[in-house]
Amino acid sequence: MNLVADALSRKVQNAILTSLTISKVHEHLGTSGWTYQITGDYFKVSSIQVEQQILSSIKAAQRTNLHIHRLKELSRIGQTEKFSVASDGSLSINGRLVVPNLIDLKEAILREAHCSQHSIHPGIRKMYHTLRTRYWWDGMKKDISHFVAKCLTCQQVKDERMRPGGMLHSIEVLQWN
């Protein structure tokens, strides 16, 4: 008999916790701008689109850049096959997003790729191979090498790798008389 009473009391506690959780989720979804539907005790989120801040910054910069506009027009009239315009209006080359020639924007991309929690000081080669899958700009490899060269942490690691390991012993030269 106590088992039934315990089970019923747990059911009430779980219902209270569920309603509190649902109200918190409802509150968060209401302020986020996401489209959702409440069905019983759960939410159906019908469209969530997560886009990195950098991607939206690149797309916004593309809309105001004259050189990008010219490339888009050339692509639309078929004079260049390298570049393509996506459905959202962004310009890409071989599936890589074209980054306008803005120093601050490039620095943000390089900083994210070099100093984020997911990739900590990867070095020139790895950083280039990571970035070239998503982005493209003229002189990208050179910009990456300059950025990594300015990083003090990378320079310290490079310096430690360049030192010879172990103790160095002087070599005595024997002279034969």
In percent, the amount of the chain with pLDDT more than 70 equals: 57
Sheet holding 96-98, edge to edge: 83-85, 91-93, 96-98, 135-136
Q: Residues 141, 143, 144, 148: what is their CA dihedral angle, to the nearest 10 degrees?
A: 140
Domain positions in the chain are 2-47, 53-162
Can you tell me the distance from the alpha carbon of 173 to that of 171, in angstroms, rounded to the nearest whole number? 6
Q: What pLDDT, in 10s, does the model give residues 24-82? A: 666 666 666 556 666 666 666 554 455 578 899 999 999 999 999 999 999 888 887 78
The class that CATH gives domain 53-162 is mainly alpha
Q: What pLDDT, in 10s, does the model give residues 136-176? A: 999 999 999 999 888 887 777 655 555 565 555 555 555 66
